[in-house]
Structure 1
Amino acid sequence: MAAEYFTYTGRDGDIIPHDVTRVRIHESVTVIPRRAFYGRRNIEEVICDVGVEKVEEEVFFGCFSLRRVIMPGVRVVSDGAFCGCKALTDVQCSELEMIGLAAFPHCTSLRSIDLPSAKIVKYSAFYCCEALADITFGSKLERIEDEAFALCTSLRQINIPLKDGMITNDNTFQGCVNMEHVDLVGGIHETIAALQLEEWRNDINKEIDSIDQILPPAPAGGEADDGDVGEKAIVIRTWTRSVLRKLIGYKEQHHRLLDEAAATLELALPKDIVIKNIIPFLELPSCTFEVEG
């Protein structure tokens, strides 16, 4: 018979017994306060109500048996929230936007994580998650800070949007000796497919595919404190900027051709028909790509 859930309400005097293994966060709770479950070694599963928006500092620090966390409405996971949760394998957090400093370090059983809403990944967020093999971000991602994935020795692939300046430091992927692939998420593939000329599409796709050749042999660096940061982050930043520049250039050429085509069509057809019925089919998807500096 499965253990019953302990319902956490966050009220004064709401003491969590040390033998609790399964927890539900009550619908009245919007913020799980600092160290609420600190050192509860027997907790295996936590399910948050959708109304829970924030997990404060060190809430699950040292919960060594915690395997599964469902937090569908959480937007902020604060510093050290899941530090040392060595059994953690399943994290469901579709609305998570801010991942705090050292939020998930040493979660050595975590193999993959999907963060479609993440915007900021702070310093050492996933430090030394040795089993983490792939991670997927969405188009909202803005910044991955230094040592965010340092010593994630199993990390092979990261899925990120095409944005310049996201990877802020050369040591972001220090020690990621198996990192070999980056995939681009968001609207880039639709934009490329809509470009007018096949040679443009082929050129950009070739540039995108080049990461599979240049990233695997790039040095990963050593231990996080030995000063050898490697070249993985540098390679990804350089590649991102190269793809961006080509895409922006071809988008500009596409729009010039589109303007020329519209002018020609307006000689044969009423202008309103051209604008309403023809031009929309030739326009590129509404995605913005920028290169900093």
Structure 2
Amino acid sequence: MMAADGWYIYTGREVVPRHVTRVRIHESLTVIPARAFQGNLDIEELDCHDRVKTVEENAFYCCFSLRIVIMPGVTVVERYAFDNCNALTDVECDKLERIGYEAFSWCKSLTIINLPSAKIVERYAFAHCEALTNVIFGKELESIGEWAFYCCTSLEQITIPLNDGIITDDSIFGVCEKLKHIDLVEGEQLRDTIAALLLEEWKNDMNDKLGVINQSLPTTPAGDEYEDVGEKALAIRRWIRTVLRNIDRYKAQHHSYLNEAATTLQLALPQDIVIKNVLSFLELPSYTFEGED
């Protein structure tokens, strides 16, 4: 049915009439059904209320005119849901947790996507998004599947958490030759931790290790379309492990030195003074990083 403001209200039981360009999901729906808009050549904008939680498979497959998708409550986008939406440029999906197989593949106009709640990115999820330059994940990210960004030939920058498990396969950034910069979600907390380390040589070493990936990544091979899957994902995984291993080592050494100092102070000062006025200033920032030691 058509609303007074010109939006078509989709109730989940009908074929949307031709020439409808703006669709709003009815308040009664929490799921956009499989193949609901598949092949619709007219729809340009989709507006979901925050109780819509799932976009099922092929729901907007080959909707070539779809440009704007607002889905603030959606947590799951299933396989092929927005595959081949060539005109798609704007996606609001702050609650999105799982991105299915080829869910956004061949979205050739998508340039930036912000995925603060994403946990699982499945195989080929953003493959062939040729205009995609920047991907921003949040701290919840658990894994990125193989070939997830395959042939994203414009991809330059990605923001990820410092978690050893997220880079699951060397193929993730195949043919992403322009990928040159990695940002960390925990960047500010990590800098605070480094700044609080006891010795200057530890700080310098950690800052060097943090910066090395963005020095080496521009010249690290991405592989071609036919044989080599490239080394960028491998380089990122190794870098994450190195940073985690070294920050854990320096934090342990830091605590060892300070424990020795605290023991000495306890011999010279009353215990209550040490507890209230000394120990609280000896601790590193409480943030802990995920991953293997």
The reply to whether TM is greater than 0.5 is yes
Aligned residue for 2:74, secondary structure, equals: coil
Q: TM-score, normalised by structure 1?
A: 0.92
The answer for the alignment partner of 1:190 in structure 2 is: 192
The answer for the alignment partner of 2:59 in structure 1 is: 59
Aligned residue for 2:287, secondary structure, equals: coil
- Please show how residues 106-125 of structure 1 align to structure 2 within 5 Å: 106-125=106-125
Structure 1 distance, partners of 2:287, 2:136, is: 19
- Please show how residues 28-107 of structure 1 align to structure 2 within 5 Å: 28-107=28-107
- Please show how residues 178-217 of structure 1 align to structure 2 within 5 Å: 178-186=178-186, 187-217=189-219
Q: Rate the CA distance shift 1:269–1:220 in 2: closer, same or farther, 3 A.
A: same
Structure 2 distance, partners of 1:275, 1:136, is: 42
CA displacement at 1:271 relative to structure 2: 3.4
After superposing the two structures, state which structure 1 stretch, 212-221 or 195-204, moved more: 195-204
The answer for the alignment partner of 1:25 in structure 2 is: 25
Q: TM-score, normalised by structure 2?
A: 0.92
Please tell me the residue identity of whatever aligns with 2:259: D
Contact 1:27 1:50 in 2 (8 A): no
The answer for the alignment partner of 2:140 in structure 1 is: 140
CA displacement at 1:219 relative to structure 2: 1.1
After superposing the two structures, state which structure 1 stretch, 277-286 or 63-72, moved more: 277-286
Identity rate, percent = 58
CA displacement at 1:194 relative to structure 2: 2.7
After superposing the two structures, state which structure 1 stretch, 171-180 or 20-29, moved more: 20-29
Contact 1:174 1:220 in 2 (8 A): yes
CA displacement at 1:48 relative to structure 2: 0.9
The answer for the alignment partner of 1:220 in structure 2 is: 222
Q: Rate the CA distance shift 1:280–1:7 in 2: closer, same or farther, 3 A.
A: farther
Contact 1:221 1:230 in 2 (8 A): yes
Please tell me the residue identity of whatever aligns with 1:24: R
Structure 2 distance, partners of 1:147, 1:159, is: 17
The answer for the alignment partner of 2:255 in structure 1 is: 255
Which stretches in structure 1 are left out of the alignment for 5+ residues?
Answer: none
CA displacement at 1:190 relative to structure 2: 2.9
CA displacement at 1:38 relative to structure 2: 1.1
CA displacement at 1:52 relative to structure 2: 1.0
Q: Rate the CA distance shift 1:282–1:67 in 2: closer, same or farther, 3 A.
A: farther
Which stretches in structure 2 are left out of the alignment for 5+ residues?
Answer: none
Aligned residue for 2:158, secondary structure, equals: strand
Structure 2 distance, partners of 1:140, 1:274, is: 38
